[in-house]
Amino acid sequence: MQHHEFVLAWDRYMDIAAVACIAIGILIFLYHEYRVLQIKDYKEKYDYVNLHEVRYFWYAILALIFALAFFSNSVRTEQIIISGMLWFYVRLFITISFLVIFYFVFYSMVRIYYPKSVEKRLVKLRNTPRISPEGNQMRKLDEAEEDTHLDASQIAEEENIHSVDYDVWLDDKTGYKKIEKYNSYLHAELCSECGFYTFKIDKEELETKPTANEPGLLLKHYKCSYCNHREAKEVKLAKLSSNV
């Protein structure tokens, strides 16, 4: 009779914990999306999504995994009441074993597959037309037009440290411009070996420094965090403009 009451109480607590974890997972997801909606500036929104979206998504998934584990600890209770507490410990052991397995399986899936979805969102945020304070739609300048709107330090930074990139948005009607700085080393790219968005800049080497007369050459070393594929890419640096 004593173990009968204990098992029934255990089931109630497991059901409550499962519901609580589901609610926590949903709240984590909604909180992240609310934070994104609260950020009005597209550049700030880009940075927030780039730094936090995968992490918050994993927290939400983790809460659901624990919900499943708690729920699993409340099934087949009648078997435990009939056969004794041995089956209670068997159920607990099986649940913990599957919890560990699901943790690593879903962690790998989130780390490998979800960045592709994040990448699409980042591209959209980076290329969404900005609006000037006067309410006009701004135009994103190409590489050839950018340099005339960047100061000397920004041009030197972009040309000598290629993991830094600038976007320049211009209101053609009023001349208002907005300059946004992006750190490429924080951005994951598609790995040519495994096909996942787990390919990031590991380090950079300046092979040839650009001058006013000659272009430079930068060697970018990439490493995949999934398959450990390494690759080096040569990037030509433009000649130093007269602004530098």
Two tokens, residue 165: 């990139």
**Which stretches within the chain are classed as H helix?**
2-38, 42-72, 77-83, 86-127, 143-146, 152-160
Identify the three-state secondary structure at position 36.
Answer: helix
pLDDT digits (tens, 9 = 90+) for 175-219: 899 999 887 766 777 888 887 777 777 777 777 777 777 777 777
Higher-pLDDT residue of 190, 17: 17
Average model confidence (pLDDT) across the chain: 84
Is the pLDDT assigned to residue 45 strictly greater than 90?
Answer: yes
What pLDDT was estimated at residue 244?
A: 45
- Last residue of one domain, picked from the residues 92, 127, 162: 127
Q: Note whether 189 and 229 are same-domain residues.
A: yes
Boundary of a domain, candidates 103, 127, 151? 127
pLDDT at 234 over 60: yes
pLDDT band at 19 (very low <50, low <70, confident <90, very high): very high
CA distance 229 to 193: 7
Task: Convert the pLDDT of each residue in 131-182 to its tens digit.
Answer: 999 999 999 998 777 767 777 667 666 555 556 788 899 999 998 999 998 8
User: Same domain, yes or no, for 30 and 122?
Assistant: yes
Asked if residue 213 and residue 170 are part of one domain, the reply reads yes
Residues 188 and 123 in one domain: no
More confident call, 198 vs 37? 37
Q: How far is it, in rounded angstroms, from Cα 76 to Cα 189?
A: 47
- pTM beyond 0.85: no
User: What is residue 32's predicted lDDT score, i.e. its pLDDT?
Assistant: 96
Q: Residue 239 pLDDT more than 70?
A: no
Q: Are 152 and 229 in a shared domain?
A: yes
* pLDDT (mean) for 89-116: 88
Provide the domain limits for residue 191: 139-237
Beta bridge partners of 140: 169
Band (122; pLDDT cuts 50, 70, 90): very high
Does 153 lie in the same domain as 76?
Answer: no
Q: How confident is the model at residue 102 (pLDDT cuts 50, 70, 90)?
A: very high
Q: Which of 98, 127, 156 is the last residue of a domain?
A: 127
- Of all residues in the chain, the percent with pLDDT exceeding 70 is 89
* pLDDT higher at 185 or 16: 16
Q: What is the pLDDT of residue 2?
A: 56
pLDDT at 237 over 70: no
Nearest to 162 by CA among 224, 120, 219: 219
Residue 134 lies in a domain: no
Identify the DSSP state of 189.
Answer: B
Higher pLDDT, 30 or 155: 30
How many CB atoms are closer than 10 A to CB 238?
A: 14
**Do 70 and 144 fall within a single domain?**
no
Report yes or no on 243 lying in a domain.
no
